[in-house]
Amino acid sequence: MDLTGKVALITGGTSGIGQATVYRISRTSAKVVFVGRDEENGRLIEAELEDEGRDAFFLRADLSVPDEAREVVAETIHVFGRLDYAFNNAGISGSNRPLAEQSEANFDEVFQINVKSLFIMMQHEIHQMLVQGRGGSIVNMASVGSMLATPGASIYVASKHAVIGLTKSAAIEYGPQGIRVNAVSPGSIRTEMLREVFGGDDALNRLEAIHPIRRIGIPDDVANAVAWLFSDQSSYYTGQSLVLDGGLTAQRPMAQSRQSDAPDRQGSGAQSSDSLMLSRPTS
Ligand code: NAD
């Protein structure tokens, strides 16, 4: 894929899915501004891509601070002069417990980054794309939690449902101006976030058996989808959520209880926000 001459903005770009997408998009020859809080890793990624002859620029920002989020698009224009693509990926899982035991502080923290900062980013990205008058492609990070609930993850699940609402609304409002807006909805992707939720790689390995494709995802699985959504190859695709879950949500939950190799996650001690078929079989 060749995206020469295009400029992409990627949030949460210093780790996990965002970092893989920074590499993937840079290697299409697009110019990339990537945002994160980890200055050290941001500079390392920037230097590595510069050594490869790529145009990548790290921008340090805490997107939970609205004033910092509001500056990101202006900085992108300052550095590379235009904006064609955006991947609003930064997010947190928050803490997991049953809804009645959740705190308002956790609600505010999760919604601040997963929803409000994404909303602010979208506003500024769309304004810029309208000024340029040549359309664009925006991809928002949702989750399989945007379709289905997981016990203990009500706030995260609600935040990812909200991402779909913003995605569909913007897609219908700005489709006439050539701005496409989609979401990606990954299931279980091997990143630090999922390791923390499950308590390490062994627990993630045990998840593989419940995925029809018999593995959990890697960040590149999502990065490749974002590259397609940015490109003109997806030019008729807008207002949608692209599910990337190895078939997890295609199967009936009950079918899982009959598989002898299904892990019993009662022992894992962790509740996942993103892996949906993990509840202990009821029969
Ligand atoms: P990750 O923790 O590596 O990535 C999250 C990124 O968001 C980090 O780089 C982090 O620094 C950034 N971020 C968080 N708060 C921020 C803030 N206030 N300001 C700036 N940056 C901030 O984990 P990941 O799995 O790569 O997650 C990326 C996105 O993918 C998240 O939105 C997550 O909800 C979503 N997701 C992940 C999975 C999975 O299985 N890993 C599945 C579905 C959706």
With the most atoms of ligand 1 within 8 angstroms of its CB, the residue from 114, 161, 184, 191 to mutate is: 191
- For residue 175, report the distance from its CA to the centre of ligand 1, in Å: 27
Q: Where are the domains of the chain?
A: 7-268
Could you read off the pLDDT of 107-140 as tens digits, one per residue?
A: 999 999 999 999 999 999 999 999 999 999 999 9
- pLDDT of residue 283 exceeding 50, the answer is no
236 is catalytic: no
Instruction: Tell me which fold the domain 7-268 belongs to.
Output: Rossmann fold (3.40.50)
- pLDDT of residue 250 exceeding 60, the answer is yes
- pLDDT of residue 278 exceeding 90, the answer is no
Give the range among 10-19, 51-60, 151-160, 267-276 with minimum mean pLDDT.
267-276
- pLDDT of residue 231 exceeding 90, the answer is yes
Instruction: For residues 16-22, give the mean pLDDT.
Output: 98
DSSP collapsed to 3 states, the chain: CCCCCCEEEEECCCCHHHHHHHHHHHCCCCEEEEEECCHHHHHHHHHHHHHCCCCEEEEECCCCCHHHHHHHHHHHHHHHCCCCEEEECCCCCCCCCCHHHCCHHHHHHHHHHHHHHHHHHHHHHHHHHHHHCCCEEEEEECCHHHCCCCCCCHHHHHHHHHHHHHHHHHHHHHHHHCEEEEEEEECCECCHHHHHHHCCHHHHHHHHHHCCCCCCECHHHHHHHHHHHHCHHHCCCCCCEEEECCCHHHCCHHHHCCCCCCCCHHHHCCCCCCCCCCCCCCC
Mean pLDDT taken over the chain: 91
**CA Rg value for the chain:** 19
With the most atoms of ligand 1 within 8 angstroms of its CB, the residue from 87, 115, 189 to mutate is: 189
Q: By percentage, how much of the chain surpasses pLDDT 90?
A: 88
- pLDDT of residue 276 exceeding 80, the answer is no
Could you read off the pLDDT of 182-215 as tens digits, one per residue?
A: 999 999 999 999 999 889 999 999 999 999 999 9
pTM above 0.75, yes or no: yes
Give the residues surrounding ligand 1 with Cβ less than 6 Å away.
12, 14-18, 36-37, 62-64, 89-92, 113, 141, 143, 186, 188-189, 191-194, 274
- pLDDT of residue 274 exceeding 60, the answer is no
Q: Is 19 within 8 Å of 42 (Cβ atoms)? A: no
pLDDT score, position 254:
66
pLDDT score, position 277:
35
How confident is residue 255, by pLDDT bands cut at 50, 70 and 90?
low
Ligand 1 atom with least separation from CA of 63: 19
